[in-house]
Structure 1
Amino acid sequence: MESTVGIVEDNKKIRNLIQRYLDMEDEIACPVGVDSVEEMTEYLDEHPAPDIILMDIELPGMSGIKGIGLIKEEYPDIDIIMLTVYHDSHKIFNALRAGASGYLLKHTSLPEIKESILKLADGGAPMSPQIARKVINHFQENTPKKDSDSNLTPREHDIVNGLVDGLSYKMIADRYDISIDTVRAHIRNIYKKLHVNSKAEVIAKSLKGEI
C-alpha cells in the first residue's frame, strides 16, 4: 500500500530534492511540499491529509514543534517525522513530547529517509541512532534513579535498545546472534512486563527513563 508524504521545509532546494526523490519511489507518493506550517494547514483544509509529514523545526512563522501540536490536534492520524539540523536534547524531547513519531537529522541520506518513512508506515519509530542515544543519555543523566518493577532481563534490555535504535526484528536478531522467533518471544515478555501493547510505548518508556 502506497504511503503519502507531505514536506514542510523552507529550504526550497532541499524540499524539492526530497520531494522529487520520494515521488519517484513506487511505495511512496509526495504530493505536497511547502515552506511553513501555516501553508501546510491551508493545504490540509483543501486536500486529503497525507499519512506522514516530514517537518523542519526552524521555519518562517510557526515553529515545527508548535506545528506538531496544531496538526495533530486536527489530524491525529498524521504521523510527523522531524527532519532538522538540531540535535540538542531539549528540542528532541520537546518534539517527541509534542507528538512527533520520529526524529532525523538533515544529513540523513535520501534512501535512509525513504526507509524511515516505510518503517514508520510499518509501525516503527524512526530516529537517527545518535539522536536516540542522546535522548537516552539525557534522561539517564536527569532522571533520579529509582527501582523499576519491570524486571527486564539483560537480554530484554538489549532488545529494547535495538527498538530504540530503530532496528527491525531481523536486524535485532542479527545484532545479538539470535533467531527472529527468539526476538519475538522477548518482545512478548517485554510487553507483558511493561504492560504495553506496542513498540512505540516501549520506546517511549525507554526514552523517559522508566525502564
Structure 2
Amino acid sequence: MNRNIRITIIEDDETIRNGYAYLIDATEGYDVVSTYVSFDEAAKKIAADHPDVILLDIELPGVNGIDAIPKLKKLLPQCFVLILTVYESEKLIFNALANGASGYLTKNTPSAKIVESIKEVKEGGGPMSINIAKLVIKSFQKNQESPLSKRETQILELIGEGKSRSQIARDLFIDLETVRSHIKNIYIKLDVNSRADAIKMAKQNKLI
C-alpha cells in the first residue's frame, strides 16, 4: 500500500502558509509534516521531518529560496523542491532550476494544480505554471548566437514593450546615461538607426 506523500512548506506569509497547509493536508494521500517561516528555521529540524516534497517560497527572511535549494538538497538528497512564488523573472526561474528545483509554480496557480504538481514532482516530473513554461520555451527559442549582451537583450525587450528610456532606467535600477549607452551599442551591433528597426531586426533574428 502506498504511503502518503510527506510535504514541508517554507513560506513566510502566515496566511498563505496556513492556507496551503490546510488545503494539502485535507487532500487524501498527502500529509503536511511541517511548516516553517524561513530556511534558517527549517534547517534546524527539517532533516528529521523526512519530507518527500518541499514547497519553497523565494522571498524569505534570511537565506532566500534560490540560495536555500542546494542547502536543502544537501540536508535531504532524496527530497524534491517545488518553488511556489509570485516571481516570473526568467533569471530567477533558471537560477532555481540550476540550483536543483524540480518545478516552478506561481502563486496564482489553481490550488488543485498545486496539489497535482506535488504528486507529479514526487513521480519525477517537472511541473511548471503555464506562464513559466512559456517563458522557458521562449528563452530556448532565442538565438543563442546573439551579438547582444544579456543586459542589451533585456533593454531591447523593454523597448519592444514600448517603454521609454527613463522607464527602462527605473525598471533596471540603472541611470539614464547607461540606458542611452546600451541603446547606442544595440544600434551599432544590429546596424540600425531607430527603435522600430532594432525591434524588427531582433524579432527577425530571434534575439528577443
When normalised by structure 1's length, the TM-score is 0.65
Q: In the alignment, what sits opposite 1:36?
A: 38
C-alpha distance in 1 between matches for 2:18 and 2:25: 10
Report matched runs for 1:62-73 at 5 Å.
Answer: 62-73=63-74
Superposition pairs of residues 39-118 of structure 1, within 5 angstroms:
39-45=41-47, 47-118=48-119
Partner residue in 2 for 1:11: 13
Could you tell me whether the CA contact under 8 Å between 2:53 and 2:118 is conserved in 1? Answer: yes
Unaligned segments of structure 2, at least 5 residues: 147-208
Give the one of 20, 35, 50 matched to 2:22: 20
Q: Which amino acid counterpart does residue 39 of structure 1 have in structure 2?
A: E
SS of 1:25's equivalent in the other structure is coil
What amino acid maps onto 1:126 in structure 2?
Answer: P
* Conserved? CA contact 2:37–2:60, under 8 Å: yes
Report matched runs for 1:177-192 at 5 Å.
none
Could you say which residue in structure 1 is the equivalent of 2:129?
A: 128
Q: Distance in 2 between matches of 1:11 and 1:142?
A: 39
| Counterpart code for 1:65 | I
SS at match of 1:32: strand
How far did 1:68 drift? Answer: 0.1
Deviations 1:117-171 (A, max 9, x none): 11112221111111011012123225239xxxxxxxxxxxxxxxxxxxxxxxxxx
CA distance in structure 2 between the aligned counterparts of 1:6 and 1:142, rounded to whole angstroms: 39
Runs of at least 5 residues in structure 1 that lack an aligned partner in the other structure = 146-211
Cα–Cα, structure 1 residues 139 and 22, in superposed 2: closer, same or farther, change >3 Å? same
3-state SS, counterpart of residue 145 of structure 2? coil
2:34–2:49 Cα contact (<8 Å) kept: no
- State the match for 1:189 in structure 2: none
Three-state SS of the structure 1 residue aligned to 2:50 is: coil
Aligned-residue offset at 1:60 = 0.3
Aligned counterparts of 1:16 and 1:143: Cα–Cα separation in 2: 43
> What are the Cα deviations for residues 13-60 of structure 1, in whole angstroms up to 9, with x where unaligned?
000000011111111000211110111111224x23200000010100
Q: Counterparts of 1:70 and 1:142 in 2: how far apart (Å)?
A: 33
- Give the secondary-structure state (helix, strand or coil) at the position aligned to 1:124: coil
Shift of 1:88: 0.8
Deviation string, structure 1 residues 42-99 (Cα, Å, up to 9, x no partner):
1224x23200000010100000000001111221111000000000100000000000
Distance, in Å, in 2 between the alignment partners of 1:82 and 1:71 is 12
Partner of 2:49, secondary structure, is coil
Letter in 2 for 1:92: I
Residue 109 of structure 2 aligns to a residue whose secondary structure is coil
Equivalent-residue separation in structure 2 for 1:117 and 1:90 (angstroms): 23
Per the alignment, residue 141 of structure 1 pairs with 142
Please tell me the root mean square deviation across aligned C-alpha atoms, in Å.
Answer: 1.4
Separation of aligned partners in 2, 1:13 and 1:142: 42
Once residues 142 and 81 of structure 1 are traced to their aligned partners in structure 2, the CA distance between those partners, rounded to angstroms, is 29
Write the letter of the residue equivalent to 2:27: E
Question: CA separation of 1:76/1:13 partners in 2, compared to 1, >3 Å: closer, same or farther?
Answer: same
